[in-house]
Structure 1
């Protein structure tokens, strides 16, 4: 086997070490398996295909974000593409007066439209959730037209369908905004209906993150096992699907 030397941030190395220890495997085995999983996802053409290619963790200050935002707005304006929702003449005049006069107490208003940034780990959580439901849906289709009936879980289709996020929860609304952005930019487009008006624009009206996390804890090991075994493109058997769905709080095995 070939040997490759890589440089990692201390924080990244510590996270990998903790994950390897939690699974009870050597650090090198964990890294090798993670790379194999990543390559398989890239080759799958479906799962993982919508994730950004750039893995570099880039951070920006509110000032840097504001400058880039204004540059993009100016570009839209020069092409006649700046909509009314992005332009308030009175607000712009007030901002100019504040800056020209140096009213330091008003400076924060310049960043009123710049929200707290989402961390890369938060973004990856949304990717993981979307990929999990992509695998679930593809697997059910692979079982045939009565696929959901083969999964011995009560309300299997309900548990196996992405149901949005709780807009009354500060953490979940942030994830919902990013999830909606992904769908609008033509990624994970199979979730478009989840954000439709009929589905209240993706508002689940109850916390869903604990459910998704519980399902992911079962899904990820099964997915690693599935791709190591080079199974068919439908990924999971009915039994695998049952394990993932039963991880959702409140899910129960069907009596039939």
Structure 2
């Protein structure tokens, strides 16, 4: 925990000590509480549209000047019917809000900005896509080699996407769509994001299931049967695929 030194007039310090004693707090606790109040961390009610988790409590003068200038530039170049950037009046209104410092309206500036999907969750999405790429190519190779894989196993190993109704998984789903549909990567998984599959919305949380599958895949690789020297050596056999399917089930529910 960081430590800061605060210099106060003796009279102010004495008043704060009296206030702290009256609240049954130490002086340090009282100051921490006051700072939390300033940063809206004590559960104060804010209008839900303000989105305090995204909208900053303050912008520097330089940031405000830059944003206001950008809005005034846009006001000169946007057309009359711009559904993305808004019209001239919209842009000038945004500039006025920033110039006047109407913090209660700052949320409109950031309303389209989502919380960041951090490195851990982003990496998890990449790992999941890589795993199902291997599964897909493994199944295709087994079919080409005329090795039978029953329909139940194929269904169990189908990539279902993520749960759009869960805040974190919904963000993971948006990232996966971006990678596959917008960036053209993991093209073998495009079918998951088709309209017939509700664009990859699994309607149930899948992250824990995928995590167990990734853990089982790591065990298979640790056994040394999969050589990273050639792409085809990464492919899984029928028994490996069955292990991945079995790993989807929570250990407490396994027979």
Fold shared by both chains (TM-score > 0.5): yes
Question: Which stretch of the first structure deviates more once superposed, 230-239 or 94-103?
Answer: 230-239
User: What displacement does 1:117 show?
Assistant: 0.5
Q: How does 1:10-25 map to 2 (within 5 A)?
A: none
Q: 2:10 — aligned with what?
A: none
SS at match of 1:150: coil
TM-score of the aligned structures, taking structure 2 as reference length: 0.60
Alpha-carbon spacing, 1:229–1:202, altered in 2? closer, same or farther (3 Å): closer
Between 1 and 2, higher relative CO (CA 8 Å, sep ≥ 6) is seen in 1
How much is the aligned-residue C-alpha RMSD, in angstroms?
3.6
Hey, what's the Cα distance between the residues in 1 that align with 2:147 and 2:111?
Answer: 47
User: What displacement does 1:160 show?
Assistant: 1.2
Contact 1:164 1:176 in 2 (8 A): yes
Q: 1:133 — aligned with what?
A: 132
Contact 2:227 2:234 in 1 (8 A): no
Query: Which structure has the larger Rg?
Result: 2
Hey, what's the Cα distance between the residues in 1 that align with 2:209 and 2:105?
Answer: 42
Ranges in structure 1 where 5+ consecutive residues have no aligned partner: 1-60
User: What displacement does 1:230 show?
Assistant: 5.0
Q: How does 1:57-136 map to 2 (within 5 A)?
A: 84-89=82-87, 90-136=89-135
Alpha-carbon spacing, 1:250–1:150, altered in 2? closer, same or farther (3 Å): farther
Contact 1:142 1:234 in 2 (8 A): no
Ranges in structure 2 where 5+ consecutive residues have no aligned partner: 1-54
User: What displacement does 1:187 show?
Assistant: 1.1
Alpha-carbon spacing, 1:176–1:229, altered in 2? closer, same or farther (3 Å): closer
Structure 1 position 248 matched with structure 2 position 245:
no
Instruction: For residues 52-95 of structure 1, give each alpha carbon's deviation from its aligned partner in whole angstroms, at most 9, with x where no partner exists.
Output: xxxxxxxxx9889xx89x99xx99x98x9xx9442112432321
Hey, what's the Cα distance between the residues in 2 that align with 1:201 and 1:229?
Answer: 32
Q: How does 1:186-201 map to 2 (within 5 A)?
A: 186-201=184-199
The structure 2 residue matched to 1:175, chosen from 172, 176, 189, is: 172
Structure 1 position 221 matched with structure 2 position 219:
yes
SS at match of 2:106: helix
Contact 1:226 1:236 in 2 (8 A): no
Alpha-carbon spacing, 1:230–1:85, altered in 2? closer, same or farther (3 Å): same
Hey, what's the Cα distance between the residues in 2 that align with 1:204 and 1:148?
Answer: 29
Q: How many residues matched?
A: 182
Hey, what's the Cα distance between the residues in 1 that align with 2:229 and 2:175?
Answer: 32
SS at match of 2:143: coil
Hey, what's the Cα distance between the residues in 1 that align with 2:146 and 2:206?
Answer: 24
Contact 1:148 1:157 in 2 (8 A): no
SS at match of 2:240: helix
Contact 2:179 2:185 in 1 (8 A): yes
Hey, what's the Cα distance between the residues in 1 that align with 2:108 and 2:154?
Answer: 46
Alpha-carbon spacing, 1:218–1:169, altered in 2? closer, same or farther (3 Å): same
